[in-house]
Structure 1
Amino acid sequence: MREKPGGTVRITSGDGIIERILLPKLTPLLREYPDIKFEFDMSYAFRDIVADRFDAGVRWGKTIDKDMIAIPIGPPLRMVVAASPAYFEQHPVPKHPDDLMSHNCINQRMPTSGGLYVWDFEKRGKKINVRVDGTLIFNTAPPQIDAALAGLGILLLPEDDLAAHLESGRLVRVLEDWCPRFEGYHLYYPSRRQPSPAFALVVNALRYESRRH
């Protein structure tokens, strides 16, 4: 009789991805295979999954090293520039990325480089990088969202982080035509590693299949 898959699967990822993608997709697996355990490392840094003994990590597809196997676990994404209606009552709506230089923008400190995130835009093949300025700097997404909701500035975050607030009207999207779609979240792991039966089940459970009609 074949032994049931078991053991611990260690995955490093941002906290929002764990909440929105990993746990919902892995819940049926946990119920069907009680011998499989998960350890989630919530980190915004680019961890060395081999040195740190993780089975896999989650990143945007465009940021994954070429020697890794990358499996899409979600649809393409796009960045969103947004602020509250109250903010735009006091400040003009930016029409071009360069207009952001005259706005109070909410910055993000990058965990790996230590520098501030550079806001990059593209429209009809033209790329623009803007080093924004403002009174607030954070290193995670949730306080950026709270600050934007409070009318304290303009932020730039992935669309899935802001979907509920955009739909409710608590945040207003701007510069949409400068924010093209890009490869979304991928599960990545070393190409040389032989996956365990438990990890193979995880990959199948997380794999994203686009629905084309």
Structure 2
Amino acid sequence: MLCLGSMVIAETPTSLIEREQLMEGLAMLKKIRGTDNVNAEYEEILHACEMARQVKRPFRNLMKRSSRPQLVIAIAMQVFQQFTGINAIMFYAPVLFQTIGFKNDASLLSAVITGIVNVLSTVVSVVLVDKLGRRFLLLEACGQMLITQVVIGGVLLVNLKSTNELEHGVAVWVVVLVCLFVSSFAWSWGPLGWLIPSETFPLATRTAGENKTVIITKIHHHYFVPF
């Protein structure tokens, strides 16, 4: 689906204007907005692109004292996004589901259930992020993830028997708690871990800052999270 979509997707107005294809950028902006009244937005994009061209040595600007708070925030968001425990839940979900009694169908069921919850909860974030605010979603999710993780750990500690299986009723509750954990991550730290850094960096260091944040996140994810 991604491959087919990539064949038909159009260039963004900003990308066209940055490459000095001004008329094509204006035409695409009109097509996307569904109206010819886009002059104000077009001028704003032109101004932003011109300001971006004037920025020299963005990585050097990123190291300046004035840019450090934004850089620290961006890196911290990515690091704590991993420390929420989402990778452990998603990676070990098949094992967890098998342990709680789903046997041979554990891998398929865990992928389907957590995947559906993840997608639907991300839609919730899209709808509510501007109404409730970034801070509210992050704080609410922290509480929800903490409670669900503690309860899941407690239930497994108390109820797992020597056969590594749970009673059906208890197993269902564990699945519900896992879904609650995944949903809280998907409407908060998942998408907002990328959204907030993009809103924090000023134009002069935005590209450099986001690139550096992504590199650090990949290093952290691949070499530290499994331990």
TM-score normalised by length of structure 1 = 0.22
- Which one has the largest radius of gyration? 2
| Higher share in strand | 1
Identify which of structures 1 and 2 has the higher relative contact order when contacts are C-alpha pairs closer than 8 Å and 6+ apart: 1
| Higher share in helix | 2
